[in-house]
Each structure stands twice: as structure tokens, then as C-alpha cells.
Amino acid sequence: MIAQGDASGPELEVPDVEIGTPLSDQSGSADLLGLIMKFLESTGNVLLIQGPPGTGKTTLALELLRRIEGPRIGSRTVPPNRLYISSRVSPPRLRKHFPWLNEVVDSISGRTAKGNVPEGVNDFRVSQADSILSKVLNMKHSSQRSLIVIDSWEGALRNTTEEGRRMLESAILSEPEESKVSVVLVNEGGQTGDISHLVDGVVNLSLSQLEGRRVRTLSVNKLRGLRVETSQGLFSLDKGRFTFLSDSEILDATPTRAKMPESIAHSATSFSTGSSDLDKMMKGGIRKGSSLLLDLNNTVSPVEVRLLLRIIIANFVNQGGTSIIVPTSTISSENVAEALGRCVGQKVLEERVRIAEFNQTLPPRKWRLLLKGSLEDDALLFGACWKELTSVSSSIVLASDFDKIVQVYGEDLFLPGLADIGASIRDSAALSIGLASRPTKLREDFLRIADYHVKMQNINGSLIIYGIKPFTNIHGVSFSFEKGFPALRLTEVV
């Protein structure tokens, strides 16, 4: 049950049902939340959630309360008791701030819609919180698996005497070995006294800025009895849910024989990136005839860059377009061709894709654009390649790694033929994508004419992406291979 300090009228019941995708299905930093749940499932533990106002403490507390599981008896899991005590949030505000509650609560009468509720579930309730001490003691004496959330600890002590405070602390902290109750205390940001030293676990939530954009971080100070390998993680509060951003450690898991990905159609004016989430972040995709600078810092792995480009290029080529690729120094043209070929097919790869290669000892391939590293010679080769592909399709995506180009041609030189082709890209409604991880002159020159500017980096093990032009919020990036080919999903940090 949820006990509410300033509530009046009938009790508000919220059934114990799953809403949305379980966080246990997520990877990376989501394991940190799993570790916190493991800590709370060890009965008798007390967790303190700290952080300034607006950092997501209540959202985290509700997520922990929602996810707690009871003991298993045979093949059946017994639902736990759940007690949420709030000294500051009324039932209407709870439903307003946490939309997922509205899916299971009649917002007018406050009664639970029982029609689709599984048999045997346990309910939350909202009632008066005039005696927190008695409610805590009753839960402890019930000898049932229980989780209590007190939101907030300062509010619970606001009108109590010093003796009352000691009694409440004793009720919460005493007999941890015998108790089947775990407790979560939410700290609004005031003084907690010695409570942070007495509890078994402490997590801090913080809110910071990255180039004027919001970044939310959870940090684990201690979880007594557990080994904490990852102490920090980024999270979002989108749709009133506490969601960790995915961990950036990924493997390229595209099988040799994969079903061709289903393309996301271009619009009349814009190209799709191959990801609905990325299209949304880019305000509807990338306008035809435009250029995009993708800024990468040294925390972004080559695998992440290759997957992103593969998704964009495969979606482009599978809709009849063509592509010229200048890959990074860390990957061979053979590797690029092999991976992209799984997503577009070998025949399409040979007909509509050209991958630059500067190693003259490699054998010729239909898709391989053998360059010599000489500006004068390569200008002719590149121009001929461009003309060949425009005869196949006027829609061309040119993806160039600027660091590789500078490495081959020097700081003051541009990709052979690109200056002359720039006007053709706009005139033919093509697309130019430049990748840069160093502040070279080539990057600066391209940035001045780029229609789009996007940055990618890793923070606390999570890959993030955000737009400089257009301005966007930070989004967490996750890659999956659910259907045998790479797919990209974004989680907006709000």
C-alpha cells in the first residue's frame, strides 16, 4: 500500500502489474538497477536515495517499488507487500507526473480497474500518513516480504520530536537480520544527520549540463555486501519512468546470412537515416542535397561508428541509391564490404557501392575504388567514380572519414574532386556525411558549409548523441541485432 501524507477521501489502489518493457531486458547500466534490486531483495537492508530537487528521486523510488519481487514457493511467486509513504505528493499529482499509473488507476474514483488484473496480485494504496511509525512496525510484524518507501525522510521528521525521530530510526534500522522488510528513504536535499552512515546503501542522483543539454547521473556510494563494478550510469525520466541508458559495449553480431533489413522510406524532401528514432531527433530526417558533420571524440569506438554508418548507408542503397565510402584507418575496405554486403546483398554492393582503398597491392573488386594517394591522380579516379554512380542513380550518399583523408593527403588538402562535387551534391539532391574526431582544417572548412552538425561521445559507459544543428536534447544510443541486422534506438534524456 502507498500511504500519502496530504491525501484525503477514498484510498487510491494501484495493482501490481507490469507497465512497459522490464528494465531487466536492457543491457549495460541497467545492470546497475538490477544490482540495487538485488540489494533490496536481501531483506533488512535500508537504501538512502539522495539528490537535489528535480533529479528523479521519486521516480527511482517508484521504479524500485514496482519491480520488487516476492519469494518463490514452488513454481509460484508470492507478491510482496509494498508501502509508499509520501509527505509531499498528492494522488492527483502522482498520476499527473507518472503517466504509467493512469493505465491501471481510475483517475476519477481512485478505484482500481480489476478486469485485467492477474489473480493474486498485491495492491498499492494511498491513505493518511499520520502515523508512519505504526505503519512501519505493522509491516515488520507481518512477517511478509515487504518494501517500504518513505518519500521523504525530511518530511517524515518535520513535525516529530527528537524522541520521535529516534523511535522512527530505531523502527527502521533495528533487527535487520530478523526483518523481512527492506526500506528506501528519499532525501529531499536537506540534512540527514547520521542516517547516511547508518543505512546499508546510498545512491546519489545528479543533474548536470553538457553544452546546454541535460545529463542525469546515478552514482552508487555504497551497497553493503555487494560488489559494485559499475558505480555510475546515465538515465532518463521520459514518460515518468526511470530508464538507464544502455551500455556502449557492443559486438557486431550481424550473421553471414541475414534477412535484408526493411527500409524506412525517404520522404519527398528528406532522406531517412534508417532509424525512426534518429529521424525524429533530426526533425524528420536529413534534407536532400545537404551535408552532415558527425563529430566523434576519442571515447567512441570504431564498432559504434561502423554500425551507425552501415544503418544509414544500407537504408539508402536498399531504396535504389548509391554510395561512395572513405572508411577509417582502423578498418579495411574488405571488412566494410563484407559487413555492408550482408545488409544490401552482394549484387547490389557491386553495382551501387564504391569503397575507397589506398592499398594498391589488393586485388580489384567491382565495389573497390583503388586510389593512389596522389591528389592529381585520385581526382580523376574519384571524378570517374562519381560519374559512373550518377548514371545508376542521382541519389548518392558520400560518407568520408576526414581523419583518413588528412592522413593521406595532408592537413591542407581536400578529398580529390570533393570541392567540385560539392555543388553537384546539392544540385542532384545527394547527401554528404563527414566524420571527424580531430580539429583539422578539413573539419573546420566542412563545418562552415554543413547543414547538420551532430556530436557523439561516451559518458560513464553510455554512448550518447545530440544535435548542435539543429539543437536537440541528449539521447542515449543502443544497437541491437534482433532481426539479424543492426538497428539503432535512442532514449531521450528528459
Name the residue ranges covered by the structural domains of the chain: 2-244, 270-492
Task: Name the 3-class secondary structure at 177.
Answer: coil
Q: Which residues touch 209 (CB under 8 Å, ≥6 apart)? A: 215
Give the model's pLDDT for residue 108.
Answer: 27
Give the model's pLDDT for residue 367.
Answer: 96
Give the model's pLDDT for residue 196.
Answer: 83
* β pairing state of 487-492 and 475-480: antiparallel
Gap between the Cα atoms of 77 and 16, Å rounded: 13
Please state whether the peptide bond connecting residue 152 to the residue before it is cis, i.e. omega within 30 degrees of 0. yes
Give the model's pLDDT for residue 167.
Answer: 86
Give the model's pLDDT for residue 353.
Answer: 97
Gap between the Cα atoms of 37 and 65, Å rounded: 9
- Would you write out the chain's pLDDT as a tens digit for each of its 494 residues? 545 444 333 333 433 333 333 333 344 455 788 899 999 988 789 999 999 998 999 999 988 988 877 556 656 655 667 788 877 766 667 667 766 554 433 322 334 433 333 333 334 444 344 577 887 888 777 777 888 888 888 877 877 788 888 888 888 887 766 678 889 999 876 655 678 888 999 999 999 999 999 999 999 999 988 888 888 999 999 888 899 998 766 666 666 555 677 899 999 999 999 999 999 999 999 999 999 999 999 999 989 999 999 999 999 999 999 999 999 988 899 999 999 998 999 999 999 999 999 998 999 999 999 999 888 888 888 889 988 998 898 788 999 999 999 999 887 765 545 555 566 676 778 899 999 999 988 899 899 989 999 999 999 889 999 999 999 999 999 998 877 788 999 999 99
CA-based nearest residue to 3, from 83, 65, 79: 83
Give the model's pLDDT for residue 29.
Answer: 57
- Domain at 270-492: CATH code: 3.40.50.300
Give the model's pLDDT for residue 330.
Answer: 84
> Is residue 403 within 8 Å of residue 438, measured between CB atoms?
yes
* β pairing state of 462-469 and 452-459: antiparallel
> Is residue 409 within 8 Å of residue 371, measured between CB atoms?
no
- pTM beyond 0.85: the answer is no
In angstroms, what is the C-alpha Rg of the chain?
28
Give the model's pLDDT for residue 247.
Answer: 75
Fold category of 2-244 in CATH: Rossmann fold (3.40.50)
Gap between the Cα atoms of 226 and 218, Å rounded: 17
CA-based nearest residue to 47, from 156, 193, 202: 202
Give the model's pLDDT for residue 177.
Answer: 63
Give the model's pLDDT for residue 458.
Answer: 94
Gap between the Cα atoms of 294 and 401, Å rounded: 10
Please state whether the peptide bond connecting residue 71 to the residue before it is cis, i.e. omega within 30 degrees of 0. no
2-244 and 270-492 share one fold: yes
Gap between the Cα atoms of 107 and 147, Å rounded: 25
Tell me how long the chain is: 494
